[in-house]
Amino acid sequence: MRGGTVRGALRAEWTKLRSVRSTPLALLALLGLLLLMTVASASGSTFGYGGPDAYDGVSFAHRSSTGADGSAYTVRVAEQRDSHPWAKAGLLLKDGTASGSSYAALMVTPGHGVRMAADGKHELTAAAGDSGAPVWLRLRREGARVTGYVSHDGRSWQRVGALTVRGLPAAAQAGVFVTSPERAVEKRTGPTQVTAHPVPTVGRAVFDHLDFPRTHGAWRHTDVVQPPDANAPPPDAAAPAGTLHRTAGALTLTGSGDLGGLGMGGVGGGPEIDLVRQSLDDGTQFAALAVIALGVLSVTSEYRTGTLRTTFTASPRRGRVLAAKAVVLGAAVFAVGLVGSVTAFLLARPYQRENGFRPPLFDNPALTDPDSVRAVVGSAAFLALIAVLSLGVGALLRRTVPAVVLMFVTVVVLPVVAATTSITLDDVVGSATPVAGMAIQQTRHLIEDATTPWAGFGVLCLYVILVLGAARWRLVRRDA
């Protein structure tokens, strides 16, 4: 054994690790626990949606049209209040003023650019460069075919797209509209419990340069009211009625509501759930049980059998020996953990989709998404660091049972107790203990998250550095 070199130390530790009978058993247990708990968690989580398939509640200023061929309706949305990222303001052609009647709409939003929609079934998105107001909008109608255009100066127009709206009569109502959806105000009622209360928002937009050929009559205002959803919790307050204020050459419109079909224009989004983390967290936490045992035994077994003295005789630089143990152990656990994390992600997605976590209410995360890559690779890195932390604790305590118990309490028992005790304790455990490293799995920021992904992972890294430093100090000082 060439213990006097870094390569020799690594080779020696790798030979010892793979020759120990418990090593393959622990790595197999890592995989088994990770995958079994992933399947159990994913198959046991369900979501059911019982709301409407489309929303049609707007504040509508309109006039009656007299023809369906060749009409081009133009308006400039001069101002739009940022009441909600999915607030909408723009042009609307509609079969009357009843909720649910056929329509074609071209709209601008504060947070998601320009969109075109029809009947809650079709949606088109303008080019990425088309952001919020002020913006010019135009709808050109040829029978059942409606084409949308957008412009930033009223002279150069870009085509958004065309939709066929067969339910739109020749004598439709043509005008401008405003919506602003309810905002879900979340509140933590327990360490793992979150309630959401819908609160109405009020949109406001100013329209000028109105050009509505082949229409007649004065501008009229109608609140198109969405039928109440019996399955939805009542809002904390009723939305105020929309208003229309007319000045020379301009209309100012306010109102609440929403327009579109599920998954279109931000309509009907599901609850705030991190599907990527849901597919990884339970399995990773249980896999840590096997990792803790492996990490502690990798050093305490040598103390018990006395082989560590032989190792130090061959390699007197004890800090190098400890570092080699940490690198070899961490690399082995990371490799197996990465295989397990990728498999867990792929296993969980079919169960999640089958149990209701699917588009249009939920995103469909892919393994190649940057956030998914970070979460999957980070899960393997978390297990590797927990293994190295356990190694350090084992080197400090030098006895298997106390080291394993301490790590079990820290990584498994304490989070369970915190999750059933108080929000404060849960936040402290989730942000200031080694368990904070689990935050690397987060792909969405939720109200119950105690820390951010990289901050939490940094806390775990800090614990590893401190414990390994203390273990090295003890090796050098006490074993001199």
Q: How confident is the model at residue 392 (pLDDT cuts 50, 70, 90)?
A: very high
Q: Are residues 282 and 240 in the same domain?
A: no
Q: Tokens standing for 346?
A: 């792929």
Single-letter amino acid, residue 426: D
Q: Are residues 248 and 391 in the same domain?
A: no
Q: Are residues 242 and 312 in the same domain?
A: no
Residue of 299, 330, 291 lying closest to 410 (CA atoms): 291
Q: Are residues 225 and 310 in the same domain?
A: no
* Residue 306 pLDDT greater than 90, yes or no: no
State mean pLDDT over 196-200: 83
Residue of 145, 80, 84 lying closest to 116 (CA atoms): 145
Residue of 467, 461, 468, 478 lying closest to 321 (CA atoms): 468
Q: What span, in angstroms and rounded, lies between the C-alpha atoms of 298 and 302?
A: 7
Q: What is the domain count for the chain?
A: 2
- 3-class SS at 150? strand
Residue 311 lies in a domain: yes
Residue 268 lies in a domain: no
pLDDT of 226-244, one tens digit each? 887 666 666 666 778 999 9
Residue of 117, 64, 162, 475 lying closest to 309 (CA atoms): 475
pLDDT of 11-37, one tens digit each? 777 777 777 777 888 889 999 999 999
Sign of the C-alpha dihedral, residues 111, 115, 119, 121? Answer: negative
Q: Tokens standing for 214?
A: 């082949």
- Residue 241: alpha-carbon gap to chain centroid: 34
Percent of the residues in the chain that have a pLDDT greater than 90, as a whole number: 59
**Residue 5: C-alpha distances to residues 8, 204, 242, 280 (Å):** 5, 72, 78, 39
* Residue 101 pLDDT greater than 80, yes or no: yes
Q: How confident is the model at residue 115 (pLDDT cuts 50, 70, 90)?
A: very high
Q: Are residues 344 and 377 in the same domain?
A: yes
Residue of 298, 295, 322 lying closest to 406 (CA atoms): 295
Per-residue model confidence (pLDDT) at position 23? 84
Q: Are residues 296 and 426 in the same domain?
A: yes
* Residue 311 pLDDT greater than 70, yes or no: no
Residue 432 lies in a domain: yes
Q: What span, in angstroms and rounded, lies between the C-alpha atoms of 135 and 153?
A: 8
Residue 1 lies in a domain: no
- 3-class SS at 323? helix
Q: Are residues 101 and 207 in the same domain?
A: yes
Q: What span, in angstroms and rounded, lies between the C-alpha atoms of 334 and 346?
A: 18
Q: How confident is the model at residue 250 (pLDDT cuts 50, 70, 90)?
A: very high
Q: How confident is the model at residue 322 (pLDDT cuts 50, 70, 90)?
A: confident
Q: Tokens standing for 138?
A: 């135009």
Q: What span, in angstroms and rounded, lies between the C-alpha atoms of 182 and 271?
A: 13
Residue 182 lies in a domain: yes
Q: Are residues 411 and 370 in the same domain?
A: yes
Average pLDDT of the chain to the nearest whole number: 88
Q: Are residues 205 and 144 in the same domain?
A: yes
Q: Are residues 389 and 474 in the same domain?
A: yes
Per-residue model confidence (pLDDT) at position 190? 82
Q: Are residues 60 and 13 in the same domain?
A: no
Percent of the residues in the chain that have a pLDDT greater than 70, as a whole number: 92
Sign of the C-alpha dihedral, residues 391, 393, 397, 399? Answer: negative
Q: Any idea which residue has 């498994």 for tokens?
A: 412
Q: What backbone phi and psi angles, to 5 degrees, belong to 399? A: -130, 135
Q: What angle do CA 445, 447, 47 make, to 5 degrees?
A: 85
Q: What span, in angstroms and rounded, lies between the C-alpha atoms of 432 and 463?
A: 10
Counting Cα atoms < 13 Å in the Cβ hemisphere of 154 gives: 12
Residue of 138, 142, 147 lying closest to 118 (CA atoms): 147
Which of 238, 261, 284 is the last residue before a domain boundary? Answer: 261
Residue 460 lies in a domain: yes
- Which domain covers residue 125, as residue numbers? 54-261
- 3-class SS at 191? coil
Which of 237, 261, 285 is the last residue before a domain boundary? Answer: 261
Q: How confident is the model at residue 429 (pLDDT cuts 50, 70, 90)?
A: very high
Per-residue model confidence (pLDDT) at position 480? 44
Which of 212, 235, 261 is the last residue before a domain boundary? Answer: 261
Q: Are 163 and 140 in contact (CB under 8 A)?
A: no
Q: Are 320 and 9 in contact (CB under 8 A)?
A: yes
Q: Any idea which residue has 């999640």 for tokens?
A: 352
Q: Any idea which residue has 């998601």 for tokens?
A: 112
Domain of residue 122, CATH code? 2.60.120
Q: Are 460 and 436 in contact (CB under 8 A)?
A: yes
The answer for residues whose C-beta is within 8 angstroms of residue 53's C-beta and 6 or more apart is 120, 261, 262
Q: Are residues 330 and 415 in the same domain?
A: yes
Residue 228 lies in a domain: yes
Q: Tokens standing for 428?
A: 């402290």
Residue 435 lies in a domain: yes
Q: What span, in angstroms and rounded, lies between the C-alpha atoms of 139 and 362?
A: 31
143 versus 272: which is more confidently predicted?
143
